[in-house]
Chain A
Amino acid sequence: MGIDLSAVGLPDLGILTWILALLPIVVILALMLGFGMSGAKAGVISWVIAALIAAFVFQADANVLASGTLKGIWSTFFVLFIIWSSMFLYNLVNVTGSFEVIADTFTELTNGNKLLQLLILGWVFPTFIQGVCGFGVPVAVAAPLLIGLGFDRKLSVVTALLGHAWGVTFGSLGSSFSVLLQQSPVEEGPMAFWAAIFIAFGGFLTGFAILHNYDGMKAVKEGAVASIFLSIVMGGTLILTAFASPYVATFVAGAVGLIAGSFILPKFPQYRLTEEDQADFDAADRVEGNFGLAFSAYIILIIVVFAVYLIPPLNDFLSQFQIGIAFPETSIGYGLVNESIASYSPLEIFTTPGTLIVISSILAAIFYKMNGLLPEGGIKTAFQRTLSQSIGSTQTIIPMTMMAVLMTEAGLTLYIAYGIAGVAGGFFPIVSPFIGLLGGFVTSSGTSSNILFTALQFEVANILDISPYIILAMQTTASSLSNSFSPGNAALGTGVSGLDGEEGAILKDTGKYNIVMNLLVGILGYILVSMGLGF
């Protein structure tokens, strides 16, 4: 492409240097895929390799290494706060037994129609849970519920994996989306819009993937109306909510989808029960409990989040309380400069999603206690479960982010991007989703995939002069969808469903749908980029 990298302060473009720049990512993939190493271990090794290459190949001094590492750790605080607080809220609701009441109520509302149950409990319900708490929880909750309703175990796991994945970007109150913003200089508004468009498209494909996996084209034909209806309701809600507050878009889309799927969809003529099915349905066991009380924690969360995000004077007042740390200017030997910054990635203490979840959790605990739903020692149990469930992802995210930000600080990511831009050229939009898919497969996390590849995708888009918003939207959509195609989540699914050792069979099923869905996402992106959109 005739790129003069000396003008941007990087070494001349060469294949050996390019391979070395890519080595930290190659190593992390090889260690996790080839050797089955944990994300935390692979992350530490890759951080060390990234530091060595930065120092000896890119002439990064101690300040660059320190600055990149520190910025990486600082970036994780925001994400980890969401992870821990959302996991606590989920466990608080779980110890009250409210999830069983919520699921049973929605089952009853669907008249026991199997296809609707599959779509609502395997797609809409996990989406709703993903809205407030990801990291495998939607699969852990939905798969056993589907099995309990009589669905095949493998089908239940694959459905829950596929069903929750599309909501990852705006799920967990936006932890994955926040990474996208932290790792690139894009504006939040347009980024949320384009991400919502592509994710809604991913959701549309997800509905059909679940139907096809259930019973081939027969189920696709029978469930097409339901799938399209739910896609429009959830996808439309997601896009509209993303305008106001992307951090709650999956949550709101899932909640609206649950209401539409439970109260409107069963009234469609094609989904009413036959007499035989009605008899089986009436004979089934029911869970005792008040739905309003069971759902109250999420109603409180909706009220708190909407109050803070949608009342401008309140938001303006609370947003002024920020914590950020300063960084000095750093530069590598070839000249690439990272300018000094007074407040790097500031944390808005009272409006950050983690704080809102903590406040909601406290209010929900008080409400549950007042209504006799919170068992003795319930808060302690919820906290202990949160501790054991969240510590692994914490150990993984920290070194991975250290490595990813250090690569950016020392110019490795930029250098890789120039190399890809020189080879892929105009076809990059079709390649882009598969980079996100690769990241999600390796790390079992849409958030970690975005940590690894957001800066890379952004730089390539800039070099090729195509919309970074569309490219990053494809990155985050692919990383979300890939949550159904990752060994870690497959193992979680088999663990909660008594299918130990069948991870390969599950990955084979989710893998074929992921390849098709990401190809279609890439083609959509290619068309939009060709039309010159996204600027």
Chain B
Amino acid sequence: MDKDLRNKLLSVLFILIAFVVLYFALWSNSDTTTWVGLGVMAIAAVNLYINS
């Protein structure tokens, strides 16, 4: 597997990890935690942007 393809796959994997983090943050009943979860998702999205 070449580096480009591996990075693309990892970028999708990071989105899935951020999905899990944000989901639990949403149910935490804490605005601060939810904002942190959104921050993690934003980082994953930026990573997807870079590796697309």
- Taking beta carbons and an 8 Å cutoff, which residues of A are in contact with B? 38, 40-41, 44-45, 47-48, 51, 61-63, 65-67, 69-70, 73-74, 325, 327-328, 384, 387-388, 391-392, 394-396, 398-399, 402
With A391-B5, A391-B8, A395-B8: A66-B26 Cβ-Cβ less than 8 Å: yes
Closest A residue, CB atoms, query B19: A73
User: What is the predominant secondary structure among interface residues of chain B facing chain A?
Assistant: helix
Check A387–B9 contact: CB distance below 8 A. yes
Listed A/B pairs (28) with beta-carbon separation below 8 Å: A40-B49, A41-B49, A44-B45, A44-B52, A45-B49, A47-B45, A48-B42, A63-B26, A63-B31, A66-B34, A66-B41, A67-B26, A69-B22, A70-B23, A70-B26, A73-B19, A74-B19, A327-B26, A388-B5, A391-B8, A391-B9, A391-B12, A392-B8, A392-B52, A395-B11, A399-B45, A399-B48, A402-B45
Residues of B whose CB lies within 8 Å of any CB of A are 1, 5, 8-9, 11-12, 15, 19, 22-23, 25-27, 31, 34-35, 37-38, 41-42, 45-46, 48-49, 51-52
Say whether, besides A387-B5, A395-B11, A38 and B52 are in contact (CB < 8 Å): yes
Which among A328, A387, A398 has the highest number of chain B CB atoms within 10 Å? A398
Name 18 extra pairs, CB < 8 A, besides A66-B25, A66-B41, A392-B8. Answer: A38-B52, A44-B45, A44-B46, A45-B49, A48-B45, A51-B38, A61-B31, A62-B34, A63-B26, A63-B31, A66-B22, A69-B22, A70-B19, A70-B26, A391-B5, A391-B9, A395-B8, A399-B48
Report chain A residues within 8 Å CB of B25. Answer: 66
- Pick the contact of A73 from B15, B27, B34, B51 — CB < 8 Å? B15
B9 nearest CB neighbor, chain A only: A391
Tell me the minimal C-beta distance from A500 to chain B in angstroms.
Answer: 21
Give the Cβ gap from A83 to chain B, nearest Cβ, in Å.
12
Contacts of A325 in B (CB 8 A): 23
Q: By the criterion CB–CB under 8 Å, are A395 and B52 in contact?
A: yes
In the complex, chain B residues whose CB is within 8 Å of the CB of A45 = 49
4 closest Cβ pairs, A-B complex: A40-B52, A62-B34, A44-B49, A66-B26
Q: Which of B1, B8, B11, B38 contacts A69 (CB 8 A)?
A: B38
Chain B, Cβ-Cβ closest to A40? B52
**How far in angstroms is the closest Cβ of chain A from B18?**
9
Nearest CB on A from B1, distance (A)? 8
Q: Specify which of B22, B48, B49 lies most central, judged by the most chain A CB atoms within 10 Å of its CB.
A: B49
Which B residues are CB-close (under 8 A) to A387? 1, 5, 9
Question: Quick one: which of B31, B35, B45 has the most chain A CB within 10 A?
Answer: B45
Taken together as a complex, chains A and B put the C-alpha atoms of A394 and B25 apart, in Å, by 25
Contacts of B41 in A (CB 8 A): 66, 69
CA distance A130 to B37 in the complex (A): 39
Q: Would you call B23 and A62 a contact (CB within 8 A)?
A: no
Distance of A67 Cα from B22 Cα, bound (Å): 9
Q: Chain B residues with Cβ under 8 A from A384's Cβ?
A: 1
B8 proximity list for chain A (CB < 8 A):
391-392, 395
User: Chain A contacts of B34 at CB under 8 A?
Assistant: 62-63, 66
For B48, list chain A residues within 8 Å (CB).
40, 44, 395, 398-399
Alpha-carbon gap, A396 to B8, bound state (A): 11
Contacts of B38 in A (CB 8 A): 51, 62, 65-66, 69
Query: Within the assembled complex, what's the spacing in Å between the Cα atoms of A491 and B9?
Result: 23
Query: With A40-B49, A44-B49, A391-B5 known to touch, is A328 a contact of B12 (CB < 8 Å)?
Result: no
Alpha-carbon distance between A51 and B1 when the two chains are bound, in angstroms: 35
> Which residue of chain B has its CB nearest to the CB of A51?
B38
Cross-chain contact of A395 among B12, B31, B37, B46 (Cβ < 8 A): B12
Q: Which of A38, A62, A67, A327 is most buried by chain B, counting CB atoms within 10 A of its CB? A: A62
Kindly state the separation between the CA atoms of A391 and B15 in the bound complex, as whole angstroms: 13
Closest-by-CB residue of A relative to B12 is A394
B10 CB to nearest chain A CB (Å): 11
